[in-house]
């Protein structure tokens, strides 16, 4: 598979996971508003460095699991059930969620780069998410676990995260009063994303029956 395709796969998968307004992208946006875009980009660079490491760990873990087809089959079915339950949960919560604007409080005055690294380190979701997605992509034959493929994919994932944070930094001022930044929209977004992942998982399970 072309490394260009693998790069954009990593970028797209990461974009998908960072689209919903959350701690990292909303913090990057608020830093930009209060301290300027440069500081927001510095914060985002710290975030992306940790995402690079987390995605690399996830890919290595996925490579190990790929040699254990019995474990992968079990994980696929467990993941499918979990993603379906998460989807239902967030869609139901979104329906009853009262509209409120996200307004993360920023207290740190230290280096925004290390601030980004710290907050990103607290978010361990990318590891299981990327491990599962890389296994799924490999099962479809669109990537392998050679060193070049892994590095290319990981780089794409870090870049995808940066692109979405960049979007929040420069466009949040225009959309901050829109419904897209509300908690309700965030819940809907998470529900839709986990629903898509559940669908991909279901298709993969059917292919292997």
Q: What does the pLDDT profile of the chain (209 residues) look like in tens digits?
A: 688 999 999 999 998 878 766 778 888 888 888 888 899 999 999 999 999 999 999 999 888 887 777 777 777 787 778 878 878 877 776 566 555 454 544 454 458 899 999 999 988 888 888 888 888 888 788 888 899 999 999 999 999 999 999 988 888 766 555 554 455 666 676 777 778 878 877 887 787 66
pLDDT given for residue 155 in this prediction: 96
In contact, 80 and 203? CB cutoff 8 Å: no
DSSP code of 146?
A: S
pTM: 0.76
pLDDT given for residue 174 in this prediction: 64
Exposed, middle or buried: residue 192 (CB in 10 Å: 0-12, 13-18, 19+)? Answer: middle
pLDDT given for residue 114 in this prediction: 92
Q: Hey, what are 195's tokens?
A: 């629903």
Cβ neighbours of residue 191 under 8 Å, at least 6 residues apart?
86, 87, 88, 89, 90, 91, 94
pLDDT given for residue 102 in this prediction: 46
pLDDT given for residue 59 in this prediction: 93
| 13 φ, ψ (degrees, to nearest 5) | -60, -40
For the chain, how many structural domains are there in total?
1
Ramachandran bin of 76, using left for φ above 0, alpha for ψ from -120 to 50, beta for the remaining angles? alpha
> Domain of 176?
3-102+109-208
pLDDT given for residue 203 in this prediction: 83
Question: Strand, coil or helix: what is 125?
Answer: coil
């Amino acid at each position: 598979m072309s490394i260009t395709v693998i790069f954009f796969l990593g970028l797209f998968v990461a974009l998908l996971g960072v689209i919903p307004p959350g701690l990292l992208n909303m913090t990057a946006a608020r830093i930009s508003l209060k301290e300027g875009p440069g500081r927001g980009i510095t914060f985002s660079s710290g975030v992306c460095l940790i995402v690079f490491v987390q995605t690399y760990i996830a890919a290595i873990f996925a490579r190990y699991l790929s040699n254990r087809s019995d474990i992968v089959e079990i994980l696929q079915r467990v993941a499918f059930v979990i993603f379906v339950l998460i989807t239902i949960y967030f869609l139901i919560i979104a329906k009853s969620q009262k509209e409120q604007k996200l307004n993360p409080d920023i207290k740190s005055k230290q280096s925004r780069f290390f601030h980004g690294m710290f907050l990103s380190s607290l978010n361990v979701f990318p590891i299981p998410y990327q491990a599962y997605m890389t296994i799924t992509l490999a099962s479809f034959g669109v990537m392998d676990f050679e060193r070049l493929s892994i590095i290319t994919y990981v780089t794409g994932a870090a870049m995808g995260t940066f692109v979405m944070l960049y979007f929040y930094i420069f466009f949040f001022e225009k959309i901050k009063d829109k419904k897209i930044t509300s908690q309700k929209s965030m819940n809907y977004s998470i529900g839709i994303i986990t629903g898509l992942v559940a669908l991909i998982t279901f298709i993969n399970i059917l292919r292997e029956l």
